[in-house]
Chains A and B, each alone.
Chain A
């Protein structure tokens, strides 16, 4: 039961991995474009948790760059969400639907 009592790096990394896999599963399996965007956010946040965990482990000057990188990822996630939502809205206007399995024009 020790691993439940002493929260260590491993717990954070495991959380990150689980979040990432949930994100991947959502992107792969859900049909709705909005939920897919949300899943992408999950994956980005999972990456952020990893970054700060390793920053903590590493310590020293390198830790700051990892924190900075995490902040940049949050910024990129925001930008990606706005662009992605814009595309989703545009698609919805054209097709009255955001079901991604109906968007198969790449096949041609």
Chain B
């Protein structure tokens, strides 16, 4: 059953969802410098809110009907036009809305709208030009992200994939006159490129195997056909290779090991950007992509193991690195990396629904935290801190609870949510991921693999609770540790309103997917039931369901355990930071020694990359620069071309001096050359062929008067003397007919030049052809 969506102004309604923000971007980026700030932010916010409205309509209207009719996984597809068609390859600019992309567009447009509104307050001090640029980029980003999630095939998804990467680069380096910020933007771009390249490889591999890149067709093939399963290297299924390549792409975009290094540096951008791109939406693209291709990953245990292992290691490493950071946004950045790791563990254990659920709840509480951080920095700015480093330095904060009450409350709620305290949203999503990891039993792997994942995540969760509450206590509790913090003021309503809205959803969002033992009535809008049709439940035989069902008791025990862990983390944070940094802290740091250093220096990842990749690369680049660029291109190609042109220029300048005599010399030389190369002195020759029962000899004495007046003599009988005819006169005709019997074994022709009287003899051995017309012999 197909549900037809209406069109708007001739374009499919789904296309308008990304188109609205893109139009806003177009206006703001082209005409923005002539518009007032008021119109700029009105355009930007209205377009995003409009696409949020359309998204709400299509999801809760037509798609809801589809879902009720049991077609939530089929969804609604609308094609704008055929984009590429070459041979067997066809890519349409098509958008597909199913229950999975529905969740994403709601999150993106909803959180995006709040962040646009928040930006009005946060960016109000920017110059008019950068203000337009900022909102233009922000709109462009929202549009690209919506293309990414609504794409019906991989090429279209790649447009969005690259688009968000570009906007990320543009917005991280937004204050590009600061060298460090511009570098951070470049770093994000380059690291993302590595991932994008692998994404492309995975895409090509899929196309090579299946001859299609359309998600719906791919899914059909996954359930029906052997395409993903055909053996690849080492007898592994193709799905493993394609899945791992695509996952490396996701690693770049979603900041997983080993490509996570760009995200902490991405905090150079304006804070709302960090909230929108580097916490709530863009970085979740990788998770979304893995869930979108769930059928592919379900065909390969290896790919799933890779996904979940990388996710777990990232969750742990990032949680560890967040401990010793002193920058407000950096702590949040590491926490994002860590939470993304949680999502990938969920995706890697086949727990797609909860990967997306955690993505959604994380979008709310992390956006709220980042916007809260922005609000704090704004407050510090009002208190007199002018550079962004001081504004975000948590060692200089403290005691902001009285100055910034709204920010504090929302931050408090979000911290509880991310730590996983019931009944806030983070608790439900994180708990289900832990439970899913506990129950995972990938075939061919040891039974304790799932338990290992679980243990890793629990440690990461403990870390999360600790560092998030360390952050909270350092910012809001105790006494002010600097003049700025003492004078800090609460932010304007345009900033606090989004905080309240996002904190509200961070608090209650968990109600969308209560644990199964609550046995909710049928009308309950469970996110699990909503998402199930869109992600695959068809596991390739032999992969079996690695995501096991747990009994109510196990679930309850796991839940209480997770809550206890969160409480312990918060308690530890309270112990050390509850009233500002405790006096015993330096001693603890001393005892931790190298561990503390490792955390502070992010496990030396940047240093290792610098030594292992950047420096060798620079040496190679330097060599290429010297050899290829400086020598081959500059010296040989460019200067060489100039030299040759100059040479000919000098030559022709010597000739073209305006004296007719010089020109005439050219004519004479040219004429002489023509005579030289022309075959003006043809060599005398003759040929023969059979005509009837006779042989005809044709002389070719040469061209022109000389040839025609040349004196010819023949010797047919081979006696070495010129023949004479019956009357005793020499034979001088140029064409002679002879009977075969009269011709000897060799025939000679003498040609005498009429001018120089020089005699030239031509002799040919004769092999007479058999009788018959048309037989030619040289």
**Which residues of A line the B interface, CB within 8 A?**
8-10, 13, 24, 27-29, 54, 57-58, 100-101, 103-108
Using Cβ atoms and an 8 Å threshold, which residues of chain A touch B668? Answer: 24, 28
Using Cβ atoms and an 8 Å threshold, which residues of chain B touch A103? Answer: 658-660
Q: Does B756 contact A (CB under 8 A)?
A: yes
Interface size bracket, B side: 10 to 19
Most buried by A among B657, B663, B755: B755
Q: State whether A8 touches B757 (Cβ < 8 A).
A: yes
Q: Does B661 contact A (CB under 8 A)?
A: yes
- Bound together, the chains give a CA A9 to CA B752 distance in angstroms of 14
A2 nearest CB across to chain B (Å): 9
Using Cβ atoms and an 8 Å threshold, which residues of chain B touch A58? Answer: 705, 709
Using Cβ atoms and an 8 Å threshold, which residues of chain B touch A104? Answer: 657-659
Q: State whether A108 touches B709 (Cβ < 8 A).
A: no
- Bound together, the chains give a CA A103 to CA B658 distance in angstroms of 8
- Can you list 26 A-B pairs with a CB-CB distance of less than 8 A? A8-B755, A9-B754, A10-B755, A13-B755, A27-B661, A27-B664, A28-B661, A28-B665, A54-B705, A57-B755, A58-B709, A100-B659, A100-B660, A100-B661, A101-B659, A101-B661, A103-B658, A103-B660, A104-B658, A105-B658, A106-B658, A106-B659, A106-B660, A107-B656, A107-B658, A108-B658
Using Cβ atoms and an 8 Å threshold, which residues of chain A touch B665? Answer: 28
- Bound together, the chains give a CA A105 to CA B756 distance in angstroms of 47
Pick from A24, A57, A107: contact of B657, CB below 8 A. Answer: A107
Using Cβ atoms and an 8 Å threshold, which residues of chain A touch B756? Answer: 10
Q: State whether A57 touches B709 (Cβ < 8 A).
A: yes
B597 nearest CB across to chain A (Å): 79
B394 nearest CB across to chain A (Å): 79
B interface majority secondary structure:
loop
- Bound together, the chains give a CA A13 to CA B663 distance in angstroms of 27
Using Cβ atoms and an 8 Å threshold, which residues of chain A touch B656? Answer: 107
Most buried by B among A54, A105, A106: A106
Using Cβ atoms and an 8 Å threshold, which residues of chain B touch A29? Answer: 661
- Bound together, the chains give a CA A90 to CA B668 distance in angstroms of 28
B658 nearest CB across to chain A (Å): 3
318-350 of chain B: CB within 8 A of chain A: none
Q: Which residue of B lies closest to A10 (CB)?
A: B755
A75 nearest CB across to chain B (Å): 24
Q: Which residue of A lies closest to B708 (CB)?
A: A58
Using Cβ atoms and an 8 Å threshold, which residues of chain B touch A107? Answer: 656-658
Most buried by A among B656, B657, B659, B756: B659
Using Cβ atoms and an 8 Å threshold, which residues of chain B touch A13? Answer: 755
- Bound together, the chains give a CA A78 to CA B517 distance in angstroms of 124
- Bound together, the chains give a CA A106 to CA B656 distance in angstroms of 9
Chain B 453-488: CB-based contact to A (< 8 A → 1; otherwise 0):
000000000000000000000000000000000000
- Bound together, the chains give a CA A103 to CA B657 distance in angstroms of 10
A6 nearest CB across to chain B (Å): 9
Q: Which residue of B lies closest to A25 (CB)?
A: B668
Extra A-B contacts (19), CB below 8 Å, given A103-B658, A105-B658: A13-B755, A24-B668, A27-B661, A28-B668, A29-B661, A54-B705, A57-B705, A57-B709, A58-B705, A100-B660, A101-B661, A103-B660, A104-B657, A106-B658, A106-B663, A107-B656, A107-B657, A107-B658, A108-B658
- Bound together, the chains give a CA A9 to CA B115 distance in angstroms of 105
Q: State whether A57 touches B658 (Cβ < 8 A).
A: no
- Bound together, the chains give a CA A27 to CA B656 distance in angstroms of 17
Q: Which residue of B lies closest to A6 (CB)?
A: B757
Most buried by B among A9, A100, A104, A105: A9
Q: Which residue of A lies closest to B672 (CB)?
A: A24
Q: State whether A9 touches B658 (Cβ < 8 A).
A: no
A38 nearest CB across to chain B (Å): 15
Q: State whether B754 touches A57 (Cβ < 8 A).
A: yes
Q: Which residue of A lies closest to B704 (CB)?
A: A54
Pick from A9, A105, A108: contact of B755, CB below 8 A. Answer: A9
Using Cβ atoms and an 8 Å threshold, which residues of chain A touch B661? Answer: 27-29, 100-101
- Bound together, the chains give a CA A106 to CA B659 distance in angstroms of 7
- Bound together, the chains give a CA A28 to CA B659 distance in angstroms of 10
- Bound together, the chains give a CA A38 to CA B562 distance in angstroms of 117
B711 nearest CB across to chain A (Å): 12
Using Cβ atoms and an 8 Å threshold, which residues of chain B touch A105? Answer: 658
A79 nearest CB across to chain B (Å): 20
Using Cβ atoms and an 8 Å threshold, which residues of chain B touch A10? Answer: 755-756
Q: Which residue of B lies closest to A13 (CB)?
A: B755
Chain B 735-778: CB-based contact to A (< 8 A → 1; otherwise 0):
00000000000000000001111000000000000000000000
- Bound together, the chains give a CA A28 to CA B664 distance in angstroms of 7
- Bound together, the chains give a CA A58 to CA B710 distance in angstroms of 11
Q: Which residue of B lies closest to A59 (CB)?
A: B709
Chain B 687-729: CB-based contact to A (< 8 A → 1; otherwise 0):
0000000000000000001000100000000000000000000
